Structure 1
Amino acid sequence: MAEKEFEPLGPTILVHVELPQAKNQEDLEELHRLAESAGSNICDAIVCRRDGIEPRTYIGSGKVTEVADAVKAHDAKVVIFNSPLTPAQERNLEKEIGVRVMDRVALILVIFAMRARTYEGKLQVELAQLRYEQARLVRGWTHLERQKGGFGLRGGPGETQIELDRRALRERISAIKEDLEVVARRREQNRQERKKNAVPVVSFVGYTNAGKSTLFNRLTSSKVYAADQLFATLDPTLRNMVLPTVGKVVFADTVGFIRHLPHELVAAFRATLEETIQSDLLLHIIDIADPRIEDNIEAVNAVLEQIKADQVPTLLVFNKSDLKDDVAIGIVRDETNKPIRVNVSAKNGLGLDDLLAAVSELLTLDQCEFELKLGHQDGKLRAALYELKALEVKGYDEQGHELVSVKLKPSDAARIEKLSSGRLSACLINHQGTLPWVQEESFDFDDID
């Protein structure tokens, strides 16, 4: 795929519409930051209060004139609306204002296109952009209604330009989907290999610019790009770590979430979001110094629910805790002594040992413990348990059988039971009742709405 050069949006006018049924006043500040992330030089922000949406221009003729005057006064090149616009509204606004008009979804797509670095990321962004443009071909541009006659049909009816463009979009979307399926299969193979080796995955999630990448770099000694801007990183990054009581663990840094995450992006980033769903533990990174902390947490939880990852065990990580005098660095536990939150400072490296200790504790929380008696014929079973670092030798009996203590997750125990053809159950010592493991249910990403 050829590299694309993205120029900054330049001088920009923001338009924020307040409606009685929508409580989105806080989104104006977020729109500022989104626009700055796209390279905008914000000249003015126009706030419009309306009882309802004007079908033709969204904001009405009076406000359109005000926006057009602001564009001329500041020599702006772009007008960005903090609301979704229909293709007709976008066309009418561009005609009357005289410069490029985009809505919030288009702005986010521009930022994602600028940030994508990997082949998969670029494909996902292009897919989201094409789906967005596909909807805009419905009534988008009258200049696409020219007729094009076929060979031997001079002057006769032919395929209109808009039909040609629709077909080209459909074909490109189909080709990208096929390419993404190949990437998805490769990702699934890697995921199954990790499951086979019982390597737990810990995914970083959180509101964009909460400090996920900075914390990820601190913990894994990586060099993932981190900056004080929205969507500084887009492509997922996986790194291996070894925790003392767990063994090998995969940490995954994912794209940040925002309020009202466009459905086009959720659909396009299916493979990336699937990594979150399949995780053993989520680290929800939260900027404790952000005055909108509760809204940010709610926005992330809404996206996790949308992609059906809300059932994955989650540990809250309050970042930038050094900026709060009343917050102590370290682990916060519930009434059962289970870690529910860790206060850290990624920038200063404070509380990271506590965070790793809490992660280790939660990853081993549901382990079942039992004892086995292994004979000379159980080499395969013994090797599998050693590989998982789940086996501790206690001694030998009079017949020379090896007596061992085992700690395993139920899902890992079920897998080893299958691989060893039932030898795990056969080697149990003094166990009565239900076996201490169950087979995991599989998850189908296609169930997502």
Structure 2
Amino acid sequence: MEPGRLTICRKCLTALRLPRRSSLARLTVPLAQPKTGRRSISARTHNERLRVTIATQVPRKQPVQVLESLLVAARSAHTVSLQDLNALHSRILELTNTALKPEEGKVPAEQRVLYVLEQLQALANSLIDGRDPETAGTRTTEKATSATSALLGSVNTRAYPSFISKASLLNLTSEKAEELLRHPNIFITPAILKSYVDLQTLLHQPSSLPDIFDLYARKPIPTESSTGTVTYTTPSPSKINSAIPTPTANLALSSALASHNLPLCLDIITTTFCSPAYRRATLFRRAALPLSGLAILPLGAYTLSQTFATTFQSTMSPSYATGIAFAGIMAYTIHVSTIGYVAITTSNDQMDRVTWAQGVPLWERWIREEERAAVDRLAGKWGFVAREQRGEEEGEEWGVLREFVGVRGMELDRAELMEGME
């Protein structure tokens, strides 16, 4: 045998030429490459070594032991889930009771109510996402390693009590949060209202939002007196402070749109964007700066006119030049402001399906633009998405929406603004 050459038996050479598609072919590769200088092996010896290699590298399955381990894990999962459900139920009741029953004769503080709502939201997240309730602020689940992973993965529902389940805990969280805001001693602030809307949006239960929005504007304000008694004062639902904040109203409308409930969407728009308090708040927010500028405009124009009359001219008397400069400054400012006001109030690039009807004053369009945008958003959600199909919607709900739009001084799918009707 020449040095540097390999001697392979015929059967091994045939196995090497086969396509490597099976585990048997892969296992023959390391045995078919002997080192240089070794003797050639026979076919019988090669087959014996191949069987030994397959027996040592391919482990045997043990179905009985795997099944027993799964059963043990399932039993432990049921136990942990049952303890977690009871702990979550107790924690929800404990949180609401501590907020509804503070020290004798005292009104619950805003921070305490916010803490309770945040904890309820954390518990709801732990139920929905399947996290450990210990991370959500629970106190009695130190031995629990998975809050709802076993709850979501379990198939044996008979291990849970009939009155405690994932759905019942979520419903209990929603009910307790609503009970918290309806309590007469709790004053609903914008932060508390925002936290409540976040919680109900997370739970997909926005049905109580219109009533809570109306309660936000009309609920008596509790005041703690020096003697320890609580007195209540009736607020005005038309005041600026009674307006629902715009981010909160948009979040509530998004939650109602997700539930695909048209009456609920209309109620939310009515109690938020259509309320007199919201219009007053919008007027104050948008017109405060322009009206302040118009109020100080005459004084500023007269000051500038005197400066121009005494410094930049010498052909006219100072009083006559001051009058001409004052008239020019006022005329220029008023005309430019008027053009800007008309441009702002008549802009319609943001309108999609809902536009203003003819005869609606420009100032009212400016103040009610957010209301129109909310109705436009609702119409876009309820109607056809394709532009070529718009105007073909039918049904009772679409008729109710069209009537609601008409009563509000708007038009739905104006013919001259539709696709192909220019």
TM-score range, shorter chain: under 0.3
**Larger Rg, first or second structure (1 or 2):** 2
TM-score, normalised to structure 1, is 0.22
Q: TM-score, normalised by structure 2?
A: 0.23
Write 1 or 2 for the structure with the bigger share of helix.
Answer: 2
Q: Which has a greater percent of strand?
A: 1
